[in-house]
Structure 1
Amino acid sequence: MMNSVKTYTLFTHEDVYLFKEGRHYKLYGKFGVHSVEKDGKQGVYFSVWAPNAKKVSVIGNFNNWNHKDHILFPRWDESGIWEGFIEGLTWGTLYKYAIETMGGDILEKSDPYALSWEQNIQAASLVSTTWYEWSDQAWMEDRWKRNNLDAPISVYELHLGSWLRNEDFPDRFLNYRDIAKSLVPYIKEMGFTHVELMPVMEYPYEPSWGYQITGFYAATSRFGSPQDLMFLIDDLHKNNIGVILDWVPSHFPGDANGLYRFDGSHLYEHEDPKRGFHPDWKSHIFNYGKNEVKSFLISNAMFWLDRYHVDGLRVDAVTSMLHLDYSRNEGEWEPNIYGENVNLEAKTFLQEFNTAVYKEFGDNIITIAEESSDFPMLTKPVHDGGVGFGMKWMMGWMHDTLDYFKEDFENRKYHHHKLTFASMYMYNENYIMPLSHDEVVHGKASLIYKMKGDEWQKFANLRTLYVYMFTHPGAKLLFMGDEFGQTSEWNFTRSLDWNLLQYPVHKGLQELVKKLNHIYTTEPAFYENQFNKHGFEWVEADDLENSVYVYLRKGKRRDDVFMVILNLAPKVLDYKVGIHTGTHWDVVFNSDDGQYSGSGVVPEIVEEKYEEWRNYQKTMTLKLPPLAGIVLRKKKDKKYKLHRIKHRR
């Protein structure tokens, strides 16, 4: 049968050159499908990279999936790109690429650049578009003020499939637009500045939670169309809420219609199984040394930031990318040219990724590394030898903190340093403090049941942990449900237990998180210096017998100072604190307040005296509620204020 595909191209010589050099970062404008006109006829242009294929054809519901009818043309420049124009096709057409390998096998592959996929086991691609009429211009113009490191960043992490389900049909997902109706006002009321969506790229296997991606350019159709997801993001932006997406450039599954052995060769994955196969996840690792793969991945990052107006990317599993021996025993990995375990190609890729997206978007966006080792300089600039991320997850803080709060009260003095150790390294990187989904699954228990004690003590502990987190230097991240004390582990198959909010202890915890978000986002002392040493000072770090911690948080103004006191013993204390001469303090927050379902003990400043106390010339004695965190504000120094006014004149 005569080939009914016509010649057509969107690629210039420069496009091909940059693609092969690993420096084409807008491939989504070239590869995949595009509605175009040829010779006065409307149709669809197809292009795909399959350099080791003998033949590539387009199959679909328009030709009964026949691989002999619509054969694409290989480009003459040996780029490995196959392309062509098919007249008359429209939006919604189902298609795949039938790729004949050099060995004669026919592989049916979905389009790596497809914008939409089917929701079934065959998962064909759909001819689709990302056209959308945005109405978030005000946010986009000013978002640099909310996404830069001098701004408060409080992130609510959620899984769209289990935050809220259809009440009448709990086994069904809500559409992106329906989720927006409930999610946007909730985030706004709670005071979070950003949401982080667990992967919304297309994935076939529900228990992977989205981390086993097959359609890297496709918004998962289980929640609706690309435009439906854009509506959700648009609505969040119009309410001054930023959007961070989980992005997974670390691996992909071996599904028959996916990237694995795409043209019969190891095209996207590394050929050496010691570097190309992930033993934990039974998935395949991208070949970061191949230029075309780097172009594919960096273009994918650009795509979400560009077409979907996303404000940040949290890069998943960076530790596994950077370490050749990750999850491997001796003999199962090979060192780099320096005899070390660093994957130099992956490091270079991450540096190029960060350089590219920050060059394109500047301070309008954030990149965040989910990285659990002490790999150096992850958030330092590339030109200084760093990897170039904006922030890094503070995994050490998270583990130490949760370990401490699991301890019996009488044993806490032996683990006192677990809450002070982070101050030894907290300015090595730009950290975000994560209490994420990983901590409430696989038998780890929900956060509330990690806490020690009876029910009242568990909630008091968790309230104080949140005071510690929200007043500690660094950005914040809290997983959905933790804000009201979800009692069961996270279950991706059903909605959160919103009915718990009928109980005062859960409602009180939610109110506490709301208040802490308000303090963090409105008081500059808690965010202006969150990534430098000028914003924090220990007052009492070594009182292990009482399990009390006292520290200051400081803004850029000299008189913008808060004191935080954590009493992590289940008893009321009359506690002496050293203060500087001439300073006076007011209690402005108490986690033991009755509105948060605390015991209602009022923290009072019982006495102030001029006496030397641990390098201070003055003391104040306070009544500390049990298992509570309190926040005090330094009263304004009127003499200093008058002096500044006089000086300005």
Structure 2
Amino acid sequence: MKECCKDPCSPDPGIFRDSFLLPHREEILRRIGHCQQKYERITQKGHRSLEKFAMYHKEFGLHRLNSGWIFREWAPNATAIHIIGEMTQWQIDPEFCLERKTADGVWEASFPLGAFFHKALYRLVVTWKGGRGDRLPTAVTRVVQDPDSLIFNAQVWEPESPYMWRHSSPDPADLFIYETHVGMAQETWGVGTFKEFETRVLPRIKTAGYTAIQIMAVQEHPYYGSFGYHVTNFFAVSSRFGTPEEFKSLVDAAHGLDLKVFMDVVHSHSSSNEIEGLSRFDGSLDQFFHSGDRGIHRLWDSRCFDYGKPMVLNFLLSNLRYWIEEFHLDGFRFDGVTSMLFYDHGLGRAFTCYDDYYGNSVDLDALAYLYLANRFVHAMIPNCVTIAEEVSGYPGIATSQSDGGTGFDYRYAMGIPDFWIRLLKEYRDEQWPLSLLWQELNSRREDERTISYAESHDQAMVGDKTLMMHLMGRAIYSCMERTNTSITTFRAVALHKMIRLITLATAGNGYLNFMGNEFGHPEWIDFPSAANNWSYQHARRQWSLVDNEDLMFSCLARFDRAMVKTAKDHGILNASRARLIFVHEADKTIGFMRAGMIFVFNFHPDKSFVDYPVNAPTGRFKMVLDTDATGFGGHGRLRADQVHLTLKGGAIQNDNSQLSLYLPARTAIVLAPGKGQ
């Protein structure tokens, strides 16, 4: 089990190694104390475990017993609940009426074994004072949509034989994450399936060298175009991709390839849909959510959980437990953490100083839930990986609980991709501020592990552009042949490689790539909607482009494989911070060391440099990666595996040994120490 906060009221938890937090010490200790007190209340001061508390999915919903079936639901405001479905010819039947068992709203009914059967469709009719509505159970584990009426129904899912797992979770490894979306992973127009992903995409990810997949849109969501972020049924695998067993098979196959499987978990908000989702489930607006305006996320058109309610904590923690136990997931990327933390969801705020975090704008109950979630999953699986999608920079999110933090293993370095887009939009190549770039790439707290990336799904969505689209524009449709000699193509291909390499080489503790971006996938992501006449044209991945050796896309993919392999072979992500050797703004060159290797980048659009002096430890250095190699779509201006020897003295600092390098324009090289030949 990972360490948790042993003494949250200690005068010097490790988080205060950052002396700039000391002026906020009282407030930070109050927040740590609030989280610990919440834990103690739930566990009755340690006399029961969080595992015994997180039982929502086991207590509620439809469950088959040896003697029959039992169904329970939580609906405090309801006055009656009936089950209707194929077993009742979709009519209210008194034999399928639930009985209120407790004053706090637990309803229950028992049924004989013949009352329900595998794949039977059903839903609830919930009645409350002044109203009635069709609803799906709050803990439903299978939901399907009728292709004609488009109505969603719950489905009994009790296959005769349980899934037989073949592989265990891989051992911990350097974190190279391949962010994916099953539905858009196929090339044909339509919605991809778990089976297709398992057979066609997983082998590509393994070949590319990544060590984990992060799957989006797993939880059921009625609107495909929401990218999976408007969840209605938190315990249900989205049926548009396949069955629960097919998702288990995908996870199992990934484990067989030594790939960890993470899931995007959306606990930051819930769909406002009322028939399919949780909103107004029992006729009240505040069963799971805040009442009034606080319960509505205006920008996202969704509902905001009230994390102060014990049953909400039970529901959400149980949800994490369910995905771990039922589907053997290895970790979670928590979506929308900033929105959870701040009453105003962090909208329109710059967060330029620590004062912005320690006023009265933070929802302490949301903070406590995140604390509990991390403590819970790490107790269940010590190697479980939790990642915070948190854009404000809230201190301590990825600091251990023993040091006074919230306990996430990693946080995304979300400022880096935004900065790359800003560079491409606002600066000419010859004006790139390399010192500012260095600062952005390395701006992270010492006590928090981060995951860097040049672009994720956010940058690829309609309304923005991928890096390759920014670099190529419409020329991407006509100028990607390997025989093309235009400056447009060379610039785009060269910078695409250099951007990714410097991002990975300076990454804190992990690196992420969104599916297809490793080969410069053209165009954007746009799911079917009325605005595009319900087209799937941009909701797919064109793998045939990367498979075509006559196109530059294959070169970019080949480089990405070499880059990831180099980083893995030399332990880049486990090494201490990169150490800057030099920045030359006029030359547009930058050099640094990490893991004993030397990285040198010449971003200049047209100037190549001969005998460029670079300070280095005395010895031999072999070139292990060259972005200009012909196999990577470059001009081949450097000799493969070139060995360089340091020289004493030089043009910059006579008391240091130096390398004398040829640096072609728009080229980066990586040198590793060794004897060489």
TM-score, normalising length: structure 2 = 0.82
Q: Given the alignment of the two structures, is residue 527 of structure 1 paired with residue 561 of structure 2, yes or no?
A: no
Alignment of 1:389-468 (within 5 A): 389-406=408-425, 407-412=427-432, 414=433, 416-425=435-444, 427-434=446-453, 435-451=455-471, 454-468=488-502
1:122 matches 2:151: yes
Q: 1:279 to 1:622 in 2, by over 3 A?
A: same
Say whether the 8 Å CA contact 2:587–2:604 is kept in structure 1: yes
Q: Which consecutive unaligned segments of at least 5 residues does structure 2 have?
A: 1-41, 350-354, 473-486, 528-535
Partner of 1:518 in structure 2? 565
Query: Which one of 488, 504, 518 corresponds to residue 470 of structure 1?
Result: 504
Aligned 8 A contact 1:607 1:620 in 2: yes
Residues 229 and 184 from structure 1, CA distance in 2 versus in 1: closer, same or farther, beyond 3 angstroms?
A: same
Residue aligned with 2:163, SS? coil
- What is the rounded CA distance, in whole Å, between the counterparts of 1:552 and 1:367 in structure 2? 29
Q: 1:514 to 1:437 in 2, by over 3 A?
A: same
Q: How does 1:105-504 map to 2 (within 5 A)?
A: 105-120=131-146, 121-129=150-158, 132-137=162-167, 139-140=168-169, 143=170, 145-146=171-172, 151-165=173-187, 167=188, 170-171=189-190, 173-257=191-275, 258-326=277-345, 340-363=360-383, 365-406=384-425, 407-412=427-432, 414=433, 416-425=435-444, 427-434=446-453, 435-451=455-471, 454-474=488-508, 475-492=510-527, 493=536, 494-501=539-546, 502=548, 503-504=550-551
Pair 610,338 (structure 1): closer, same or farther in 2 beyond 3 Å: closer
Give the conservation status (yes or no) of the 8 Å contact 1:436–1:479.
yes
1:75 to 101, 113, 129: 101
Q: Which amino acid aligns with 2:594?
A: R
One-letter code aligned to 1:106: R
CA pair 445-615 structure 1, distance change in 2 beyond 3 A: farther
Letter in 1 for 2:181: H
Q: Secondary structure of the equivalent of 1:483?
A: helix
- Secondary structure at 1:280 match in 2: coil
Deviates more, 1:335-344 or 1:230-239: 335-344
What displacement does 1:306 show?
1.5
Counterpart of 2:411 in structure 1: which amino acid? K
Is 2:569 the partner of 1:544?
A: no
Q: SS of the residue aligned with 1:124? A: strand
How far off is 1:239 after superposition?
0.9
Q: d(CA) in 1 for partners of 2:516 and 2:165?
A: 30
CA distance in 2, matches of 1:288, 1:336: 22
SS in 1 for 2:87: coil
Give 1:633's aligned residue: 672
**1:63 lines up with 2:88 in the alignment:** yes
Cα displacement string for residues 426-481 of structure 1 (whole angstroms, at most 9, x for unaligned residues): 53521111321110123212220223771210111001111112222331111112
The alignment partner of 2:70 has SS state of strand
**Which of 24, 39, 54 does residue 79 from structure 2 map onto?**
54
CA-to-aligned-CA distance 1:297-337 (integer Å, 9 cap, x gap): 1110111111101111101111111111226689xxxx999
**Do the aligned partners of 2:434 and 2:590 also contact (CA within 8 Å) in 1?**
no
Q: Partner of 1:507 in structure 2?
A: 554
Partners of 1:587 and 1:631 within 8 A in 2: yes
- Residue 163 of structure 1: CA displacement? 1.2
Cα distance in 2 for partners of 1:20, 1:90 equals 35
For structure 1, which runs of at least 5 residues remain unmatched after alignment? Answer: 1-13, 555-560, 638-649
After superposition, give the CA deviation of every residue in 1:489-539 in whole Å (9 maximum; x if it has no partner). Answer: 123333212232324311100101111121122222x1223xxxx342111
Residue aligned with 1:163, SS: coil
User: 2:615 and 2:50 mapped to 1: Cα distance?
Assistant: 61
Q: How do 1:531-610 residues align onto structure 2 when only pairs under 5 Å count? A: 534-540=576-582, 542-554=583-595, 561-570=596-605, 571-574=607-610, 576-580=612-616, 582-602=618-638, 608-610=646-648
1:397 Cα deviation from its structure 2 partner: 2.0
Residue 401 (structure 1) shift = 3.0
Instruction: Please give the alpha-carbon distance, in whole angstroms, between the structure 1 residues aligned to 2:395 and 2:654.
Output: 35
Change (3 A) 1:62 1:634: same
State the SS of the aligned residue for 1:301.
helix
Please say if residues 442 and 506 of structure 2, whose CA atoms lie closer than 8 Å, have aligned partners that are also in contact: no
Change (3 A) 1:362 1:606: closer
Q: Partners in 1 of 2:555 and 2:448 — Cα distance?
A: 34
Shift of 1:374: 1.6
- Whether the aligned pair in 1 keeps the contact of 2:620 and 2:643 (CA below 8 Å) is no
